[in-house]
Amino acid sequence: MKGYLEVADIFRGFGPDYRELHGAEMPLRHLRVMRAIEVCRTAELGGHIDQCDHCGQLKVSYNSCRNRHCPKCQFLEKER
């Protein structure tokens, strides 16, 4: 288990309850962003397998949501 929480962990843990209480008054774009962040880099968005050119080891990577509000995708964009 990771030693820190990500926004996605919080959304996945509390998002459904929060939306049940407040979903009706939330703007649709907020709901979309929440959803994108929740499924970012999970099997829900599908994935791909990379193979190492040297040792042939296979590595499974999940696709990211590419939402500009997603902290994970923002970070990757900055690193690039």
- Residues lying near Zn ion in the complex (CB under 5 A) are found at 40, 64-65, 70, 72-73
Q: Which ranges of 1-80 does DSSP label H, i.e. alpha helix?
A: 7-22, 28-39, 71-79
**Beta carbon nearer to Zn ion, 18 or 63:** 63
Smallest distance from Zn ion to CB 5, Å: 16
Task: Please tell me the distance from the alpha carbon of residue 76 to that of residue 80, in angstroms, as a whole number.
Answer: 6
Q: Which residues pair with 8 in a beta bridge?
A: none
Smallest distance from Zn ion to CB 24, Å: 25
Smallest distance from Zn ion to CB 76, Å: 8
